[in-house]
A and B are shown apart, each in its own frame.
Chain A
Amino acid sequence: MYLEDTYGEKIRFVYRHFALSFHDKSVLTAEAAEAAGAQGKFFAMHDLLYERQQEWGALSSQDEVKSRLVEYARELGLDTERFSQDLNTHAYQERVNADTQTAMEIGLRGTPTYIVNGVTYPSEQLSLNPVIIDAFVHLVTDPPRQYAEAPPQVIDPDKKYTATIRTGKGDIVVELFANQAPTNVNSFVFLARDGWYDGLAFFHVAPGFVAQNGDPTNVGLGFPYPGYSCGDEVRPDLTFEQAGMLALFTPSPGYNSSQFFITYAPQPDFNGRFTIIGRIVEGIDVAESLTQTQPGPDQPPPDVIETILIKEG
């Protein structure tokens, strides 16, 4: 499992039954897992049941399912006599029903429901994609640094600012548009000076398109990670007609926070949608050498921001 790879010994899994009555083989298979558990093989049976779901799911009668389950028990080296007896006498039905009852009492809406350190995974908003589950675990267990207030005024919009984005491959120097996008440049400068971006990955790098950064979970969830968000400063005189723009990402109009991207090519589709806060003036070759990647397993390690240095004047 993906989470195990990420968290290793730091994570433990707990399985509880939520055997929905409209799934006709749900209680029986849960009983089978319990019966296997009585012989010390709960998770072995759990894994096998998921693996062979199509096989036993296609069987029509409970008896057929039951004899198939006994075959699985034999495969796992269980005492099949004891196992069959446990199924026939419904030795663990009460246990399964009690778990299900609890799940209903605490208002769980469906299966599967995941709970991370007591926090229910919002499966209505987030898909069950393992990459997103991983990001959620990250958010709950190691939340990003948040600010109790929106950022103080740290720039003078009449002065000139440059940001040097330092990576292992070199520096990307960006002229910031403090005058045209004062609120969002202020926020970016505030975060950069506070080291907020240090160590964050270019989690989506698509040559000829964009490189994205500024998401502490490194997968691009659309959250306002620093605990605040800022309105748009989209100006007609700053457009994506040129490559090398630095813009803030917003999931919908007016919710800019830490996430940003740089463009590798003109992106006229972005005009009017994203606030441009700067333009690369040096190190476009460094930007172009960033490792191509996207969130998910089996990707090369992304490049990270070592730090962002802000120069005034």
Chain B
Amino acid sequence: MRKPALWLLVLALGLVAGCGGKSPTPSPSPTAAPPTATPPTVTAAPSVTATPAGPATCVQSPLSFPADPRIPAVTDEDHVEGPAGASITFIEYADFQ
């Protein structure tokens, strides 16, 4: 029987890095081999200061998904399915092959 696993569909933490991250968080000494994740990066210094004894700290790790201004806006020329006033626009660039 397949061994059960904690549900983790993807480890997309590299995405955070792609959205303006700067330097990787120093990770505490690992106690186990990490799963296939890319560690997230943080955009700010830790804002909870560790006591000298050195307990775990929390650091900011903002999730942001900036829009790419280079993507052309939807026009009358486009092939569109769904209501014009929809709040979500899902563009697919693809071919059929």
A interface residues, Cβ below 8 angstroms from B? 3, 7, 9-20, 23-26, 29-30, 33, 37, 42-43, 46, 49-50, 53, 57, 99, 102-103, 105-108, 111-120, 122, 125-127, 129, 131-132, 135, 137, 139-141, 143-144, 146, 148-151, 153, 182-184, 187, 203-204, 206, 209-210, 212, 219-225, 227-234, 249, 251-255, 257, 261, 272-273, 275, 294-295
Contact = CB atoms under 8 A, between A and B. Distances in A.
B57 A13 contact: no
Contacts of A53: 96-97
Nearest to A144: B63
B62 to A, nearest CB: 5
A234 B4 CA distance: 22
Given A111-B94, A222-B8, 7 more contacts: A13-B80, A115-B93, A125-B38, A209-B4, A227-B62, A229-B25, A253-B34
Highest count of chain B CB atoms <10 Å: which of A12, A182, A234, A272:
A12
Contacts of B89: 11-12, 14, 116-118
A220 B27 contact: no
A227 B60 contact: yes
A274 to B, nearest CB: 8
B29 to A, nearest CB: 8
Interface residues of B, number: 67
A209 B2 CA distance: 13
Interface of B: 4, 6-16, 18, 25, 27-32, 34-35, 37-40, 42, 46-48, 55-63, 65-72, 74, 78-84, 86-97
A261 B8 CA distance: 12
A13 B8 contact: no
B60 A150 contact: yes
A167 to B, nearest CB: 19
B81 A13 contact: yes
Given A117-B67, A122-B12, A219-B9, A224 B80 contact: no
A257 B72 CA distance: 36
B47 to A, nearest CB: 5
B31 A106 contact: no
Contact of A233 (B30, B55, B66, B71): B55
Highest count of chain B CB atoms <10 Å: which of A15, A116, A151:
A15
A14 B91 contact: yes
Contacts of B81: 12-13, 15, 43
A134 B6 CA distance: 20
